[in-house]
Amino acid sequence: MSGPPAASPPPGIAIRPPEAWHRADWERLYAGYAAFYKTAQTPEMRARVWSWIRDPAHEVKALIAETAEGRAVGLAHYRPFARPLSASVGGFLDDLFVEEAHRGRGIAEALIAAVAEIGCARGWSLIRWITADDNYRARSVYDRLATRTFWITYDLKLPG
């Protein structure tokens, strides 16, 4: 696929940066994301990430999918990353999560499209993300929107 996905939010859903009053919904969603990936996450860890996305100087930014009633039902965290080999900057979509009751309505596509729009405005060369091999439902969406790469990722754990 070439070019960013063009996806409008479904009716009754707005994509926007989170405001201070979204924190409880954001925490609920982010805890759900951690549980989905069976990752231990503490309130202190969520508080740290919340402080990052609320800090205008921090690289990590966020978007939420919000219902007409103001309830957040999806989130995306993203940031720029340097791509030395291509002498460019890309965007990395770190986290994408939609509340189970709202899946299948195009919210994930709209969140990705919104990150892509931000990337275009900032001159990023691409948006990159990873997902679990067994996350088949999400992969069916991603396969429609982007090109799966052949790269294999590794994690080298550091002490501390």
pLDDT digits 0-9 by tens, 52-94:
999 999 999 999 999 999 999 999 999 999 999 999 999 999 9
Q: How confident is the model at residue 5 (pLDDT cuts 50, 70, 90)?
A: low
Closest CA to 130 of 146, 107, 111: 146
Q: Domain boundaries in the chain?
A: 13-145
- Among 16-20, 46-50, 58-62, 151-155, the least confident range: 151-155
First to last CA, the chain: 41
Please tell me the distance from the alpha carbon of residue 48 to that of residue 69, in angstroms, as a whole number.
27
Architecture of domain 13-145: 3-Layer(aba) Sandwich (3.40)
SS percent in the chain: helix, strand, coil, step 5? 40, 20, 40
Percentage of residues of the chain with pLDDT beyond 90: 76
Residues 12-38 have pLDDT tens digits of 999 999 999 999 999 999 999 999 999
Cα(2)–Cα(61) distance, rounded to whole angstroms?
Answer: 24
Q: What is the pTM of this model?
A: 0.91
Q: Of 57, 56, 48, 10, which Cα lies nearest the Cα of 30? A: 48
